[in-house]
Amino acid sequence: MRPLLRWIALVLIAAAALQIFFVARIAWAATFDPQSTSFERSEAWRVWRQKGALRWRQQWMPYERISDNLKRAVIASEDGSFTNHDGVDWEALEKAWQRNSDAEERAARQQARQAPRAQPARASAPAPKAIKVVGGSTITQQLAKNLLLSGERTLLRKGQEVILAFALERMLNKERILEIYLNSVEWGEGVFGAEAAAQHYYRKSAAQLSAYESARLAVMLPRPKYFEKLPNSGYLASRASTIVARMRSAELP
């Protein structure tokens, strides 16, 4: 019994130490500009292993030197209630969860309809994969994940993300959260932050981005490496026009 209790105690101590480390990192980020995030480092390592080269474009820009167009576009596209929530938008999270469940049910029904009947030769055909609908995470949650956590999708990691989002909201103001987010979010393979993205796609500073250019960058955020390879995507253009219309009502911190 004692070894079990000792093991449990060690696990609890390690968990507490990890939380203290996270809080210390957040407190540090309140004053100092993070030079890299957990996600950036993991992506750099992935590219290095696959290609034997380090591709990392990033240049920190103060909040006031990032175009308000980009700030509004990102809020309109990613987190419309950014200035009002406490780190988690529970309504958006519930809707995203329901969309995920609905998508899985549709995929299951489709798989059942396509199941081979009296066709033994096709018995080994791979089953269609369920389409996962992502969404529901606020800008604060995304920052918590990118800054401190891994990219894996588990309930444990999601729970930690929520806890860190609350910590970010209490230790940093909204402007600082958005500033760090815009300077560290991925916009292509090895392209991190607003300034690197503006230079990479438009050959201009992040301070000079137009409304439409900002909207296109905002639409890229859920799948930046995918859209980097499809600059003439019809969806990208259409969605960007929708975001431009929404930007007028996007509230800045």
In a domain, 218, yes or no: yes
Q: What is the pLDDT of residue 103?
A: 60
At residue 115 the predicted structure's pLDDT band, cuts being 50, 70 and 90, is low
Identify any residues that bridge with 152 across adjacent strands, giving them in sequence order. Answer: none
Q: Is residue 252 part of a domain?
A: no
Rg (CA), the chain: 21
Cite the DSSP H helix spans in 1-138: 2-29, 38-51, 68-78, 90-114
- pLDDT tops 50 at residue 125: no
Point out which residues pair with 191 in neighbouring strands. Answer: 57
| pLDDT over 60 at 252, yes or no | yes
- Structural domain of 125: 90-135
In this structure, the answer to whether residues 173 and 130 fall within a common structural domain is no
Nearest Cα neighbor of 73 from 242, 253, 228, 203 is 242
pLDDT at 113: 74
Number of domains within the chain: 2
Q: Are residues 72 and 6 in the same domain?
A: yes
Same domain? 166 vs 46: yes
pLDDT at 126: 43
Tell me, what's the pLDDT at 98? Answer: 66
Averaged pLDDT, 101-110: 66
Mean pLDDT of 65-82: 96
Quick: pLDDT tens for 6-34: 888 888 888 889 889 889 999 999 999 99
Task: Please tell me whether residues 178 and 233 are part of one structural domain.
Answer: yes
CATH number of the domain that residue 50 is part of: 1.10.3810.10
Q: Let me know: does 94 contact 190? Beta carbons within 8 Å.
A: no
pLDDT (0 to 100) of residue 183:
97
The pLDDT mean for the chain works out to 85
Measure the CA dihedral 85/87/92/97, to 10°: -160
Residues listed for the chain? 253
pLDDT at 124: 41
Q: Does 59 reside within a domain?
A: yes
